[in-house]
């Protein structure tokens, strides 16, 4: 039985009682971490998964609320004697800075006894990861930085993930809801989407024609966190055919036999 375990659902700044962006895809054979907001390692332990058991880490973009838990994950794995390589997918632009950051924390490739296999999303249109087919798609989340600094960097991705008979989409951080369009062309069983960077009305209006069976809303703004019932009421009105879940930390979402 596969499941998604939500480790953190806060927006891009600290909020009470919520961790930063991270969730675990836990299948019969593999454990894949999507984003590594802190304190993902502690939360993994609390939920029965040791950080050293993670097979791969998928980083959608470089903001610290999606990456700050990575050094502790690696340090914990080193302390308990991990030997197997750890695969880390990320935008290409992050790989060298991440290695330098880990070296500065004394847990980079030169310090630890297991290999860190960094792989850029841009290397291929689709990636085979632990028996999963993962197709990254670009989002406009960092477009304002690209314009400001006039540099070909600041890339952010969402992820389309397929495993046997199950298909789901993880939005990463979006600029606008239409960023999701290519990933929804073949209706997924589940959409996990943030709602911190635009009004929920805009998201639900965009999603309505797709008639998705299930949507999990996470990474919500502080205003939404203050009144989550209003979000669900709005979703029931605008997406009457869709089962909409407002995610709390530590929620487990069964996916069936995948």
pLDDT value for 258: 46
H helical segments located in 47-90: 64-67, 70-79
What pTM was estimated for this model as a whole?
0.96
Strand bridging mode 116-120 / 127-129:
unpaired
Distances (CA, A) of 162 to 25, 128, 131, 154, 241: 12, 10, 9, 26, 23
CATH of segment(s) 2-256:
3.60.15.10
Which residue in 75, 15, 70 sits closest to 39, CA to CA? 70
pLDDT at 230: 94
What pLDDT score was predicted for residue 6?
A: 98
What is the structure's pLDDT at 257? 54
Strands 214-220 and 243-246: parallel
Decide if 201 contacts 223 (C-beta within 8 A).
Answer: no
Closest CA to 121 of 104, 138, 100: 138
Asked if 51 and 73 touch (Cβ cutoff 8 Å), the reply is yes
| Element at 18 (helix H, strand E) | none
Report pLDDT for 256: 66
Rounded to whole angstroms, the Cα distance separating 250 from 39 reads 12
Please list the pLDDT of the chain residue by residue as tens digits (258 residues).
899 999 999 999 999 999 999 999 999 999 999 999 999 999 999 999 999 999 999 999 999 999 999 999 999 999 999 999 999 999 999 999 999 999 999 999 999 999 999 999 999 999 999 999 999 999 999 999 999 998 889 999 999 999 988 999 999 999 999 999 999 999 999 999 999 999 999 999 999 999 999 999 999 998 899 889 999 999 999 999 999 999 999 999 999 654
The Cα–Cα gap between 161 and 117 comes to 20
């Amino acid at each position: 039985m596969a499941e998604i375990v939500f480790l953190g659902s806060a927006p891009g700044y600290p909020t009470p009682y919520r961790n930063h962006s991270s969730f675990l895809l836990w299948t019969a054979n593999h454990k894949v971490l999507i984003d590594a907001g802190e304190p993902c390692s502690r939360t993994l332990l609390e939920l029965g998964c040791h950080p050293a058991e993670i097979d791969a880490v998928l980083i959608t973009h470089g903001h610290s609320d999606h990456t700050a838990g990575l050094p502790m994950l690696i340090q914990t794995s080193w302390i308990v004697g991990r030997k197997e390589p750890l695969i880390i997918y990320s935008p290409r632009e992050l790989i060298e800075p991440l290695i330098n950051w880990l070296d500065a924390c004394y847990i980079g490739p030169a310090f630890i006894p297991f290999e860190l296999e960094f792989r850029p999303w841009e290397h291929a249109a689709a990636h085979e990861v632990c028996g999963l087919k993962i197709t990254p798609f670009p989002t406009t989340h960092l477009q304002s930085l690209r314009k400001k600094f006039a540099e070909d960097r600041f890339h952010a991705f969402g992820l389309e993930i397929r495993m046997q008979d199950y298909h789901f989409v993880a939005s990463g951080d979006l600029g606008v809801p239409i960023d999701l369009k290519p990933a929804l062309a073949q209706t997924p069983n589940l959409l996990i989407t943030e709602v911190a960077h635009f009004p929920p009305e805009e998201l639900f209006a965009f999603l309505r024609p797709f008639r998705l069976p299930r949507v999990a809303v996470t990474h919500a703004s502080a205003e939404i966190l203050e009144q989550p019932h209003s979000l669900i009421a709005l979703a029931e009105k605008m997406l009457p055919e869709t089962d909409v879940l407002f995610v709390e930390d530590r929620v487990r979402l069964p996916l069936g036999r995948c």
